[in-house]
Every structure is written in C-alpha cells, then in structure tokens.
Amino acid sequence: MATAMSVSAVSPPAAAVTRPRTMVCVPATARAPREMAAELAAAAALGADVAELRLDCLAGFAPRRDLPVILAKPRPLPALVTYRPKWEGGEYEGDDESRFEALLLAMELGAEYVDVELKVADKFMKLISGRKPDNCKLIVSSHNYETTPSSEELANLVAQIQATGADIVKIATTATEIVDVAKMFQILVHCQVPIIGLVMNDRGFISRVLCPKYGGFLTFGSLKKGKESAPAQPTAADLINLYNIRQIGPDTKVFGIIGKPVGHSKSPILHNEAFRSVGFNAVYVPFLVDDLAKFLDTYSSPDFAGFSCTIPHKEAAVRCCDEVDPVARDIGAVNTIVRRPDGKLVGYNTDYVGAISAIEDGIKASESEPTDPDKSPLAGRLFVVIGAGGAGKALAYGAKEKGARVVIANRTFARAQELANLIGGPALTLADLENYHPEEGMILANTTAIGMHPNVNETPLSKQALRSYAVVFDAVYTPKETRLLREAAECGATVVSGLEMFIRQAMGQFEHFTGMPVDDYKFRAIASSLDNPNTMKPRL
C-alpha cells in the first residue's frame, strides 16, 4: 500500500523473542522536586519499571539544589531524566548549555537513563565525551507532532540516531490514521538496537499497548488520568492491569474493537479479562478506524485474529469480509470479524441474538403470569426501532423473526424507508414518532448513539411520547441508565439496558474469537466489574 506497509509482513522474528521485556515507564511531571520524588515512589507502587523525570516541568528548577533531592538513593525505581526544550514539545525555554549541564549532573548522580534530542545530540556528545558513567544509557530522541513519515524515512531516521552514538533510539510520531502505526511496527521488528517507537494521539494508541509484541524497549503510562505527558497516553495501571502488558509477546494474538468513536467502549475490559480467565494468549485493544477496508488490508497478519465492529463500520464490514454468515448477510450488518488461518475474513452478527434475547427476558421478568415458553413475548407486538444503521438492522431482523410487527424510525427518512422496505413495515421520521400511538403495549428499541457518553442529556424521544410504550430498550450502555431509560421508567415502562445486550453479544464474540464455549457464570462475573473497572485487582 502507498500509505503504509501491511503488517502481514510484520510477524516478530525469532530475534525479537530474545529482547528484554518491554518496560513500563511513568512520566513524573510535578512542579516541585519533592513532589516529583513522591511521584517516582507512586510509580513504583503501581508496578512500573522506570520513571521519567521531566525536569522541564519543574518550577524554578535549580539543578545543583534540586537534582540531589529527586535522584536521592535508594530510589524505588530507575530514573530516566528528560529536560525537554519547547522546540521539541517540552517546557524548557533556556539555552542548551545550561540544559546539558543539568543532564550531565543527573548522570553523575546516578541516573540510569538520560534523554537528549537528535537535533542537538552531536553537541551533547562532545560535551560528555569521556564523562558518561558506564551505568547510564543515553537515549537520543526524535519527535514528530504532525505526521508519521514513510517506513523508508523512519529507517533512515533510526540510522541517523544510531550514528550519534546513542545507546537507545527513540522515535515518536503522530498518526493521521491508524494505518500509520504499521510503519512503526515495521521499524520496531527490524531494528537491531534497543528502540522506543511510539505513535501519538488516539489513532496511534495501539502502538503503546502492542509495542511488546514487536520488541519495543519501553512504553509510557501516566501516573493517573490527567497526568499524561503525550497525547492519548494510557495510564500505567491500564497497561499493567487492563491490557496485561507483562504477558504480551511475539506470539500474542491481537483482537479489538473497530469504531469511530471507540474510546467509550468497555469491550477491552470485558474481553481482556475473559481471555485471561481461560489462559488465552491474546490482547484486545481499541482501534480508532476511519477507513475499514484500508485498516483490514494493512493489518492482515494472522496475528490480527479478530475484531468487534461498531458504529459506523457494521455495514461496510459486510463488503470487506471474504465470507459472511447467512444471518449477518440477511441483516446487512456484521459486528464480529474472524480471520481464519488461511487469512480469509469471516463476518458474523451477534448483536441480534444479544439484543432480542435481552428484551425477551426483560419482558418475561416483568410479567406476573407465566408465559408460553414456546412463544416469544415479541410475537404480534408492535416493535418500533429507532435507527437504520447496523444495530437497527439487527434489531429489526431479530424482532421480525420473533413475529413482531416492525416499524423503523430514523432522523433521515430515506434511510428509514430503505430498511422498512427490507423488513416489510412502515417508516417514520423521529418527528413523526413524537405523535405515533396506534395501539397500547408497544415496544421501543433505540439503536442510535443518542444519549451516549458524553452527551448524556440527549434522548431520541420526549418523555411525553414515551408514555405510549410498555417496554423500552436502549442499545447505549455508557451510561448504563440513559436519559431515555430513566424517563421511560418514570412513565411506567419496563426498561432493558443496553449493557445486557452488550454482555450477550460479547459472549458470542468470545466463542468466535477463541473457539471455546463461553462460561455464562464466569463471563457475567467479569462483566459485573464494568460499572466500576477500578475494582479489578492489580496484577503486578
């Protein structure tokens, strides 16, 4: 491809197996020396391997006064000392000579690593000639805050950094699309010297989690949310506990959720813990994808073994798969993609079973009289679906299969009409839906993102209109109780949370991903942590 090499060529070589374990480095960005020393201790408590001491963040920094405080021994962690100038994304605005003297002093005080920028590396090397302690490693770094250059340009950059005499190469670039990260993975795999290679911002997030697979020297994780030293930096706790980074290696299979947006998803929490619970060597990450076809073509290695697919890619996924399960083809939407050993992509839809069974069970639980076990509680009911995208198609298909009379409502009437024609029912606009009340006992299912975090005050239908419904389901599960569900409950309706659909469709995905039968009890026990992921026990 012109934009990025395919990761099909990036299967970690045997040499990568012998590389040291990728370290987790926590940036310390406090404004005062004693606070920075405390952050170093806090990083150690999280299970980090090294702390980056960002001297440029210190207010009124005086090297000979402050460095002995920050680097006092015994230290709970090795120290990586960085004094980043403004022209390379830092806060320091002074001259290089003063900065270099501070870095040299840090070396003399026992800092294990010192970072200096490529632009001034030769100048710094001349200054420290013969004065660098043997136990201190020099990192020479290059940061690109706009783009990710081609693989060839990155390879040339590595050679240029090596030529300075660096012990460790560091390159940080910026992703304009997620396929940019493939270029960095290529560099990590083939580099013959220790290398830190990261791609910044949300589209580059996977570089921070998957770097152990490709032999990266270290990755950065913040002390906590709000303490990031670079765009889209995860917390160290998430790297260690959520993504299980200590266990990621060359043979680790990669799964993840493809979407836009994708940061709100709780799928990584659920699937990573489920993988861990059965000893499955895999990691599940968020993929922020703009172009699905380009993404799947780029990350074509067998190690990229499966994907969950969410808004807005479920319909495009049908066209991108080599084979599509008949039910998913009938629905016209794929939410699960599995790469077979022969490289073929197979698409499935687990949304419709997850959602419809959740709604059926919600209705049964609300009824005082036992119902006919052979008849769906949806049979004969008027079932209104809001949304005509992939999830809307799945709900409409599932409800019709159960004998419901399906109505499609959508903000864009043409889209509603298109799906309604396929299902064999009427179409409405959302404005029409406000006064739609042909009968009692109707069921409403919202499949749009309206009301999803952070837009929690939005709702697809007014409270007044909700009085016409006996049952209301919302596919949105962040938050668990949306405004739609809250107001529906206040109107006396039976409400069904999207979290239940999420759990059930994820069970189907787990079976497709692993080839293992799902343990319903264990899976639900894992899912119980979703409302409070901080309850997950640290694994250090």
How many angstroms from the chain centroid is the CA of residue 363? 34
Residues of the chain with CATH 3.40.50.720: 352-496
Contact yes or no for 210/202 (Cβ under 8 A) = no
Q: Which residues are catalytic?
A: 143, 170, 314, 351
pLDDT at 536: 41
H or E element that contains 114: strand 113-117
* Residues in Cβ contact with 275 at an 8 Å cutoff, skipping those fewer than 6 apart: 281, 282, 283, 284, 514
Contact yes or no for 241/249 (Cβ under 8 A) = no
Q: What is the largest CA-CA distance in the chain?
A: 88
**Crossing angle for the helix pair 33-46 and 63-70, nearest 10 degrees?**
20
H or E element that contains 81: strand 79-82
The conformational region for residue 515 under phi > 0 = left, psi -120 to 50 = alpha, else beta, is: left
The sheet carrying 50-54 orders its strands as 195-200, 168-174, 137-143, 113-117, 79-82, 50-54, 23-28, 218-220
- pTM of the complete model: 0.91
Q: Classify residue 283 by its DSSP letter.
A: E
State the CATH class of domain 23-233: alpha beta
Counting as low any pLDDT under 70, the low residues of the chain are 1-18, 531-540
- Spatial separation of the C-alpha atoms in residues 234 and 226, rounded to whole Å: 10
The pair of structure tokens assigned to 380 is 């004969």
> Which amino acid, one-letter code, is at 515?
G
Q: What DSSP letter does each residue of 63-75 carry, written as one string?
A: HHHHHHHHT-SS-
CATH of domain 270-348+503-530: 3.40.50.10860
The domain made up of 352-496 has a fold known as Rossmann fold (3.40.50)
Q: CB-based burial of residue 154 (10 Å sphere; 0-12 exposed, 13-18 middle, 19+ buried)?
A: buried
Residues of the chain with CATH 3.40.50.10860: 270-348+503-530
Q: How far is CA 86 from CA 57, 117, 137, 227, 357, in A?
A: 11, 11, 23, 18, 56
pLDDT at 374: 83
- Spatial separation of the C-alpha atoms in residues 180 and 537, rounded to whole Å: 34
Q: How far is CA 235 from CA 14, 152, 253, 383, in A?
A: 30, 31, 22, 43
Contact yes or no for 304/224 (Cβ under 8 A) = no
